[in-house]
Amino acid sequence: AQTVTQSQPEMSVQEAETVTLSCTYDTSESDYYLFWYKQPPSRQMILVIRQEAYKQQNATENRFSVNFQKAAKSFSLKISDSQLGDAAMYFCAYRSILNQFYFGTGTSLTVIP
Amino acid sequence: KAGVTQTPRYLIKTRGQQVTLSCSPISGHRSVSWYQQTPGQGLQFLFEYFSETQRNKGNFPGRFSGRQFSNSRSEMNVSTLELGDSALYLCASSYSPPGGFRDGYTFGSGTRLTVV
């Protein structure tokens, strides 16, 4: 079975600075999708960004970008120009070709004014 | 378009009782999945329904069951509640045609269940 590991339970960043959240995964599949979700205190999980495994180009969504290293099975999220509203729990997720999702344990991000 | 709607938002039940949670997916989404979220265990997959059929199931006891209706709305039932069932239960829907899996989930706001 696939596993997703987020090794940083907590991270903090100064407002306007850049922070990178780490995620690694284990799989034997060649085709899959990776996602980062954000869960603010309001508790609704929000899709931040997705990456298709067959695409070498790293996905970007405004201030959010990923560093996808397929061979290393690494999928980190970079948040640039951090804002107070970025404070949340961030989950890395893997979606297999069998439509199964696997989530990491999450990284709690604090943004310091 | 309307998001994923979960009802109720909060629920307090007594040990031994049973509870039913409801989830209405985004219009057009046929896949509905349920997760249990606790501080210690993170997100634990319960089950997924697609076109009224359970397509995937997590490692939970038989006290946890679900179903999906023809309009894709889903319900989750937990019988003989235990204190350890206290958690945030999240429902997520996705557009999941055969062979298509590029879509992520759209989550609801969850139902906070407290068992006393």
Note the pLDDT tens digit of each residue in B78-114: 999 999 999 999 999 988 665 555 667 889 999 999 9
Q: What DSSP element (H or E) covers B3?
A: none
CA distance A3 to chain B (A): 12
Give contacts of A32 with chain B, Cβ < 8 Å. 101
Q: What is the pLDDT of residue B23?
A: 98
DSSP classification of residue A76: E
Which tens digits make up the pLDDT trace of B59-79? 899 999 999 999 999 999 999
The strand pair at A33-39 and A88-95 is best described as antiparallel
| Average pLDDT estimate for B19-37 | 94
Q: What is the pLDDT of residue B98?
A: 53
Q: What is the CA B65 to chain-centroid distance, rounded?
A: 10
> Between chains, do A106 and B107 touch, taking CB under 8 Å as contact?
no
Phi/psi-derived region of residue A106, left when phi > 0, alpha when psi is between -120 and 50, beta in every other case = left
Position of tokens 């997590």?
B58
Which tens digits make up the pLDDT trace of A43-83? 889 999 999 888 888 999 999 999 999 999 999 999 999 99
Cα dihedral B36, B70, A95, A65, rounded to 10, equals -90
Q: What is the pLDDT of residue B42?
A: 82
Q: Is the pLDDT score of B14 beyond 70?
A: yes
| Average pLDDT estimate for B11-25 | 97
> Between chains, do B107 and A100 touch, taking CB under 8 Å as contact?
no
In the Cβ-directed half-sphere of A48, how many Cα atoms lie within 13 Å? Answer: 24
Q: What is the pLDDT of residue A43?
A: 80
Q: How far apart are CA B109 and CA A3, in angstroms?
A: 25
Q: How far apart are CA A83 and CA A57, in angstroms?
A: 26
